[in-house]
Structure 1
């Protein structure tokens, strides 16, 4: 299927042009804001040749396309002609505040990243050529290319002004004017730290070059002020007075309040990251490198881009980018081992197709095509990336430019700490390869062959787990949370409760009770560890509508009511009240099989059959 046909198929399966409010793309995904999610045929989309997977995440429907996303998006743009709709604050208000902030930052930063990535890579090559003595450090050519590389960082507010204006749907040229004000030379007066506006309003003199948040905050305010004047000034003179009045109001507020606020927020975030790295380099590396595949799976990895960019802006380098590089190489190595070990020809081809993009820096094909299907490989990539990142961070590994972390961008890491980057890369690859080789087949369902009948049958279950919920089972492909639908935490079942109660499936100890009351952890007497999660995103309710009957450490018996919850209240907040049941220690058993033969389920029916 060529890109044009794929774009047509995706358009059809998302419900057609009339069902699309807006769409955009990042480096690997085509992202939709849809009017009616029920019109999406997700199974049909996942089955399309060229689609690596799809998911509903943070209010978006995301189609994962990997390296071909730009070409498919270009074809898609020729098929649809969406009107320039007004803002959808009311619609977005139904999503979490944090989710909206992360989505906004991602949609603003992503279009501005290509020149910044190019600049970071160019800086790396310049350093490499100088380090090896291949060029004269004072040559005019080197000065020129240094200027080219530096300009992309130094004038970053101008790039963000354009993408911010497009996101907030306001005038791009006025936004560029605000960026110019941020970069105006008065901000660099020798020894001057403050100037007085109107003779009495203090305005801090700050260097906003390479900053991220100041221009975003300023353009956000411009959106509302300009709209206010556009609606009230007659069209005949609107073109003259609306821009003038907008700038006269926005510029002082931006320079006195918003820009310094954004600057210091960014500085404190960068300082906080540096503090964590200085406090415990190995722990910081282990966390960032180990969780990166999970963040990519949930589409949350773009939230780290502003932090890494701020690191470069504040300190001239980013250690977090080095951590992400270790995880990237781990995610590319796991499919390579799968390719050599897997016997199925089709699976080998899928694995091999994910290797080269992975080492370049595009890991979605590896994650969605391989790692989610081979849990052992996913675990190996998380551990390998975490260990490599821990070692790299302890040895001072860092990137001196904002780049797409991959083998091609290694020149950007050359400098202080480069030996740490090299050692970390080797450790990531070796640890991931060894663990993938050992764990790849660990989590496959065990089978035995009845030679007389020449059929394959499952091993007899040694352990059974009853349902903790009375209700109706829900297919996992309807769950709009990749962590659960892809069974990342372990074998997972979803149940729609009939009575708003959670019961003990058998004698157990309450291992964990979450402060927000929306989840309970149980250690069953048969050795199974169970997580019972009530609803999706219900953590935002902060315990409202939940009534706990147990505490951590309590012993419970089969049928005891552990918790009750208000299903109507959850639904009124437009949240999903489905119950997620996860065996969190799945990897310790030989095979776990869900009872999918019955739709309606009660406390006396087995939810899982487990083979040791």
Structure 2
């Protein structure tokens, strides 16, 4: 299937042209804003040749395509000639607090990244040429290319003005005018920090070059003000007066309030990240490097881009980007080991096809094609990336430009702390390779070993005894009263594909979660929507997750009865929730129950397929 055929097939399965509100693409995903998500055939899209996976977030369909996304997006634009800045986007299902903010930032930053990534890589190459004596730093040629690289960072507000205007559905050229105001070199006396508007309103004189949030906040305000005047000024003179009135109102508010607010939020966020790194470099590296594959799996990794970009703007370098580089190399190394260890030709081909894009910086093929299938390799990539990032951070590894982390962008990391980059890369590759080699077939090997324990022929009494033991090893009763619902109706690949372990979804009828066994509370999410528990007797680990995307509710609608570290008795109430409140926010309210350590048991079988259940019914039957 070529790119044109793939674009046509995707369009068909998302409901055709009439169901497309607008679309864009990032480095690996085609992001389609649809009018009616019920018309989207997610399963059919995932089965298309060339599609690595899908994510459905509200009315946005993310089709994961890896390195071919740009080619497919170009073909898609021929089929759906939509001006992506036009149309009314239905945010009714995306007003999810933190989730909505992160999605908005990602949509604004992603289109503006290619020139910035190019500039970061160019800065690294320039530094390398000068450092190794291959070029004279004072030469006109180096001065020219250094200016080309710097301008992409210095004038970043102009790039963001365009993408912000598209996201907020407002005029791009008026947005550029606001960016010009932010960058305007006001002639003031040395040491003067404020100018007085109308003689009474102070405007802080701030260097907004390379900044992120000030222009985004300003364009957001512009979109509302311009829309207000466009709807009320007579059409005959609207082209003249609507922009004028909008700028006269927006510019002072932006310069007095929004731009400084965005500037200081970004600055203090960068300072907070640096404080964490200075406080505990190994812990910061371990967290960022170790969780990166999980963020990629959920499509949330772009949320880190503003932080890394702000690091570069504030300090001239990014340590977090060095951590992400280590995780990227870990995600590419694990499939390489899988290629050598896999026995089936098809599995080898899939693994090998993920290696080169992974080392370049595109890790979705590795995540969805290999690591999601081989859980041991996923664990190895998380640990290898985390340990490598910790080593890199301890020795001061950093990037001097915002780049797509991969082997081709290593020149951007050359400079102070490059020893940390080298040590981090070596550590990442070795640890990931060793762990993948050890963990990939660990559970299969365990089964084979158990099968070889008894070589004598089994008698009938032996068979009966073994069968009885397997049946009665361990039964996990339901923590929910309600009705089993089909897993394929859950629109989240992490749960519907049972990536975390054996999974059952239940529609609760009494809005209460009970302890299915005597257990210890191992994890309680701050937003109260999910709890991790571990059986005191058998070590079974359960994740009980209420709803989808309910993290966006920030705890509203949930009443937590326990805290982390508590020991609870079977039947004790753990959590209650308001199903109607969840539904009022257009969110799924199903209770997801996952055996997160399924791989440590010989078998984990789901007892009921469908039907009503109560606390006396078993959900899982486990053989040790």
Give the TM interval when normalised to the shorter protein. Answer: over 0.9
* Residue in 1 that maps onto 2:100: 100
CA-atom RMSD in angstroms: 2.7
| 1: CA distance, partners of 2:304 / 2:561 | 39
- Give secondary structure in 2 for the equivalent of 1:123: helix
CA shift in 2, pair 1:504/1:274, >3 Å? closer
CA shift in 2, pair 1:515/1:331, >3 Å? closer
- Give secondary structure in 2 for the equivalent of 1:530: strand
| 1: CA distance, partners of 2:7 / 2:269 | 39
Correspondence 1:364-383 to 2 at 5 A: 364-383=364-383
Correspondence 1:560-575 to 2 at 5 A: 562-575=574-587
* Residue in 2 that maps onto 1:168: 168
Match of 1:594 among 582, 597, 606: 606
| 1: CA distance, partners of 2:91 / 2:538 | 49
Determine whether 1:26 maps to 2:37: no
Determine whether 1:358 maps to 2:370: no
- Give secondary structure in 2 for the equivalent of 1:91: coil
Correspondence 1:225-304 to 2 at 5 A: 225-304=225-304
CA shift in 2, pair 1:611/1:405, >3 Å? same
* Residue in 2 that maps onto 1:553: 566
Correspondence 1:101-250 to 2 at 5 A: 101-186=101-186, 190-250=190-250
Match of 1:466 among 473, 477, 488: 477
- Give secondary structure in 2 for the equivalent of 1:147: helix
Asked if the contact 1:187/1:207 (under 8 Å) is kept, the reply is no
Asked if the contact 2:36/2:59 (under 8 Å) is kept, the reply is no
Query: Which deviations, in whole Å up to 9, do the C-alpha atoms of 1:256-278 show, x marking residues without a partner?
Result: 11111111111111111111111
| 2: CA distance, partners of 1:326 / 1:495 | 39
* Residue in 2 that maps onto 1:91: 92
| 2: CA distance, partners of 1:174 / 1:598 | 56
* Residue in 2 that maps onto 1:606: 618
CA shift in 2, pair 1:168/1:555, >3 Å? closer
TM superposition shift of 1:537: 3.3
| 1: CA distance, partners of 2:507 / 2:588 | 10
* Residue in 1 that maps onto 2:12: 12
Asked if the contact 2:337/2:437 (under 8 Å) is kept, the reply is yes
Aligned length: 607
| 2: CA distance, partners of 1:265 / 1:564 | 36
TM superposition shift of 1:490: 3.5
CA shift in 2, pair 1:368/1:596, >3 Å? farther
Asked if the contact 2:22/2:87 (under 8 Å) is kept, the reply is no
TM superposition shift of 1:327: 0.2
* Residue in 2 that maps onto 1:478: 489
* Residue in 1 that maps onto 2:502: 491
Gapped regions of structure 1 (runs ≥ 5): none
TM-score using structure 1 length:
0.93
| 1: CA distance, partners of 2:619 / 2:401 | 51
CA shift in 2, pair 1:207/1:431, >3 Å? same
CA shift in 2, pair 1:272/1:486, >3 Å? farther
TM superposition shift of 1:79: 1.0
* Residue in 1 that maps onto 2:396: 396
- Give secondary structure in 1 for the equivalent of 2:107: helix
TM-score using structure 2 length:
0.91
Q: More displaced, 271-280 or 59-68? A: 59-68
CA shift in 2, pair 1:82/1:145, >3 Å? closer
TM superposition shift of 1:495: 1.8
